[in-house]
Amino acid sequence: MKSVGDNKSRIVVVETKAGKKNSLNEVLHDDTVMNLIKDTRAVMEIRAFMEFVDLLSSHSDRACYGTKSVEAAHELLAIEKLWITDDLFRNAEIATRKKYIGLVNAVKNAGGNTFVLSPNHVSGEELAKLTGIAATLRFPVPGLDDMEI
């Protein structure tokens, strides 16, 4: 095991407003921290999920969440990026797990990118608040939430 001295260049002190779980979000938005971890998979997932959140608020017809809306978007081959929580993807109920694994594979086969987010990560927690599944779309699909499926 390497000593702390050997890893000095990788240690950063970052101030937060509190010592609570939400402070992790503050740390992850700190420029110094982001520069150190910019090429990790977790950071790429955070950035991609932040893109979803931005699209949802600014161009809501290019983003959707919830199983029915995401499935409808997939029927149109509109999904560019798909996020799903690990809890849904590895669901204990076999039929549910197969459904979501099938959706993830279908999106990949259609040229989309997929991200399975951990519930222990800030972005995974946020996704869980939005039903556990979300997508950004290749093209606008107005009224996706109102579609009959």
The 10s digit of each residue's pLDDT in 72-96 is 999 999 999 999 999 999 999 999 9
Q: Which residues pair with 85 in a beta bridge?
A: 117
* Domains of the chain, first to last: 19-138 (3.30.1330.30)
DSSP string, 78-142: -EEEEEEEHHHHT-SSHHHHHHHHHHHHHHHHTT-EEEEE-TTSHHHHHHHHTTTEEEEESS--T
Packing angle, helices 122-129 and 41-58, rounded to 10? 30
pLDDT at 137: 97
pLDDT at 21: 64
Binning pLDDT at 50, 70 and 90, where does residue 38 land? low
Q: What are the structure tokens assigned to 40, written together?
A: 């990790």
Q: Please, what sign has the CA dihedral across residues 72, 144, 133, 91?
A: negative
Q: What is the pTM of this model?
A: 0.74
pLDDT at 93: 95
Rg (CA), the chain: 18
Taking the C-alpha atoms of residue 41 and residue 74, their distance in angstroms, rounded to an integer, is: 25
The better pLDDT of the pair 78, 123 is held by: 78
What are 2-33's pLDDT values in tens digits?
677 777 776 777 788 877 766 766 776 777 77
pLDDT exceeds cutoff 60 at 99: yes
